[in-house]
Amino acid sequence: MYYTDQDKFISLLEHGVNKLKEGFTDLPEVKGNVYSHDKAATIIGQLAEKMHENYPYFHPQYAGQMLKPPTDIAQIAYYLSMFINPNNHALDGGIASSQLEKEAVAEIAAMFGFDTHLGHLTSGGTIANLEALWIARNLHPEKTILVSDQAHYTHERMCAVINTPIEVVPSDNTGVMDVNALEERIKRGDIGTVIVTLGTTGLGNADPLDKIVALKEQYGFRIHVDSAYGGYFTLSSKLDENVRAAYDHIKNVDSIVVDPHKHGLQPYGCGCVLFSDPSVGKFYKHDSPYTYFSSEQMHLGEITLECSRAGASACALWATQQLYPLVKQGEFAAMLDNCLEAAQKLADWVKQHPKLKLVIEPKLDIVNFVIDAPSASVSSQHAQAVFEMAESKHLYLALNTLNKSLMPEFEKGYWDQDKVIAIRMCLIKSDHSAWMDNITDILDASIANLST
Ligand SMILES: *Cc1c(COP(=O)(O)O)cnc(C)c1O
């Protein structure tokens, strides 16, 4: 499997457990759970077998959705903290892990260039975005929220939850928010917040935040950045010029979401929301004065919508950021650059392939391409067939349904239906680049199998 050094992993965990025990030696001993080892071994064995029924997410030949194994130190830290099982809802429930959460979140805020911040971890990007939109609504109760048609579907759902109007702004033929259309809509008034996606989930492109910040200065509205998937790429030194310009403006926005459980090497259950103005904390707890929330003594339970939350997530994230600090030119940034390199290699291969058409130049580490065919329906069938053929050869892909506006180079006659199914690949693992020849060989063999 993926863990090349199981002994090292287990010895680190043992080291941690022994250290942890040292802190509690002055308590009278208590017995652990009593259970049958044999019975437990049978159950665990059964579980392991049931887990065979998964795609091998840990393997570089899995290049479908945004899945990868959490890094070793995150797993060890998470598991170690299970002996305490802290709850970061209330300080009482997770004294140490609350402090670690504040430290880890402050490092993320610093990565984005926020001078001040209020923020915390969440169980994921959905809840993190919900909180950001809920604050947006509290600040502008009557106003509309705007989002591009390439944004994550969670925004429309969450706006329904908080009962707030949301409108969709069209994107251009590279899948980023059309700034002219945005400005036209803003001029008509009543816009409270614009959601900007840095790293769209389908195409991996970045809305032009630099231009949207300029509109904010002119018209006045809030900006929420949803970078659940793409946020960490701000550490990369290899972004293309336009994308870099967008990322360089993150420091000027009102709120940000990033998912440590996507590109941050964490187990699921770790999202993060940040606000640049700490005074928004007042919306979480009505009877507290504003100053309370900018003090160092703020209490996580009073600035989160969720109550119980895994303190283990904070322990894992903190430990990971100690080993891989969130700095440019660091080891973590190099992992992200590897992903960009993998996407570029794949895109270059697609471009020279006679049967494939690249949808857009990859900006982050997602690549979409369609199979050349006389019509959109045949192209879609072929994508499905390649998906299945590749799977039989242990290469795991994803599919993405695209609007025809993204493929302006196809002639009118091609469009016997409005949409086309593309193959989508997320090269989110840092070893995807080293495996690219292997990946393209399997792709090529899968495409060669298509009946013409
Ligand atoms: C993944 C994703 C979400 C949803 O986050 P979860 O952690 O899956 O809840 C929201 N927005 C974007 C851009 C995403 O990529």
List the chain pLDDT tens, one digit each, 452 residues: 555 789 999 999 999 999 999 999 999 999 889 999 999 999 999 999 999 999 999 999 999 999 999 999 999 999 999 999 999 988 888 999 999 999 999 999 999 999 999 999 999 999 999 999 999 999 999 999 999 999 999 999 999 999 999 999 999 999 999 999 999 999 999 999 999 999 999 999 999 999 999 999 999 999 999 999 999 999 999 999 999 999 999 999 999 999 999 999 999 999 999 999 999 999 987 554 544 444 455 678 888 999 999 999 999 999 999 999 999 999 999 999 999 999 999 999 999 999 999 999 999 999 999 999 999 999 999 999 999 999 999 999 999 999 999 998 899 999 999 999 999 999 999 999 999 999 999 999 999 988 76
The residue nearest atom 3 of ligand 1, judged by CA position, is 125
* Residue 270 CA to ligand 1 centre (angstroms): 11
> What φ, ψ does residue 198 adopt, rounded to 5°?
-105, 95
Distance between CA atoms of residues 314 and 88, nearest Å: 8
What domains lie within the chain, and their CATH numbers? 91-323 (3.40.640.10), 331-448 (3.90.1150.10)
Does ligand 1 lie within 6 Å of residue 428's CB atom? no
Residue recorded with tokens 């001029």: 187
Number of residues in the chain: 452
Distance between CA atoms of residues 55 and 150, nearest Å: 27
How many C-beta neighbours within 10 Å does residue 103 have? 14
Distance between CA atoms of residues 149 and 167, nearest Å: 9
DSSP string, 59-117: STTB-SSS--PPPHHHHHHHHHHTTT--BTTSGGG-HHHHHHHHHHHHHHHHHTT-SS-
pLDDT in the model for residue 291: 42
Distance between CA atoms of residues 228 and 262, nearest Å: 7
The residue nearest atom 5 of ligand 1, judged by CA position, is 125
Amino acid making up residue 170? P
pLDDT in the model for residue 3: 58
Q: What is the pTM of this model?
A: 0.96
Residue 152: strand, helix, or coil: coil
* Residue 255 CA to ligand 1 centre (angstroms): 15
Task: Kindly state the tokens that stand for 365.
Answer: 């580490």
Does ligand 1 lie within 6 Å of residue 131's CB atom? no
Does ligand 1 lie within 6 Å of residue 150's CB atom? no
Residue 180: strand, helix, or coil: helix
DSSP string, 353-404: -TTEEESS--SSSEEEEEE--SSHHHHHHHHHHHHHHHHHTT-B-EEEEEEG
Does ligand 1 lie within 6 Å of residue 204's CB atom? no
> What φ, ψ does residue 423 adopt, rounded to 5°?
-90, 130
Does ligand 1 lie within 6 Å of residue 266's CB atom? no
Distance between CA atoms of residues 217 and 115, nearest Å: 19
Distance between CA atoms of residues 402 and 389, nearest Å: 21
Distance between CA atoms of residues 237 and 300, nearest Å: 33
Dihedral over Cα of 258, 259, 260, 265: its sign:
negative
* Residue 67 CA to ligand 1 centre (angstroms): 12
Does ligand 1 lie within 6 Å of residue 178's CB atom? no
- Decide: 73 and 319 in contact? Cβ < 8 Å: yes
| Residue 267 DSSP symbol | P
Annotate 201-226 with b (16+ C-beta within 10 A) or e (fewer). Answer: bbbbbbbbbbbbbebbeeeebbbbbb
pLDDT in the model for residue 379: 97
Mutate to test the pocket of ligand 1, among 262, 266, 273 (most ligand atoms within 8 A of CB): 262
- Count Cα atoms within 13 angstroms, Cβ side, for 176: 22
Atom from ligand 1 closest to the CA of residue 126: 9
Does ligand 1 lie within 6 Å of residue 122's CB atom? no
Distance between CA atoms of residues 375 and 417, nearest Å: 8
The residue nearest atom 6 of ligand 1, judged by CA position, is 125
Mutate to test the pocket of ligand 1, among 121, 122, 133, 201 (most ligand atoms within 8 A of CB): 201
Does ligand 1 lie within 6 Å of residue 207's CB atom? no
- Decide: 199 and 233 in contact? Cβ < 8 Å: yes
pLDDT in the model for residue 287: 57
* Residue 261 CA to ligand 1 centre (angstroms): 10
Residue 136: strand, helix, or coil: helix
For 301-344, give the secondary structure using H, E and C: HHCCCCCCCEHHHHHHHHHHHHHCCCCCCCHHHHHHHHHHHHHH
- Decide: 111 and 235 in contact? Cβ < 8 Å: yes
How many C-beta neighbours within 10 Å does residue 165 have? 13
* Residue 125 CA to ligand 1 centre (angstroms): 5
Distance between CA atoms of residues 186 and 180, nearest Å: 10
Does ligand 1 lie within 6 Å of residue 126's CB atom? yes
* Residue 228 CA to ligand 1 centre (angstroms): 5
Distance between CA atoms of residues 398 and 384, nearest Å: 9
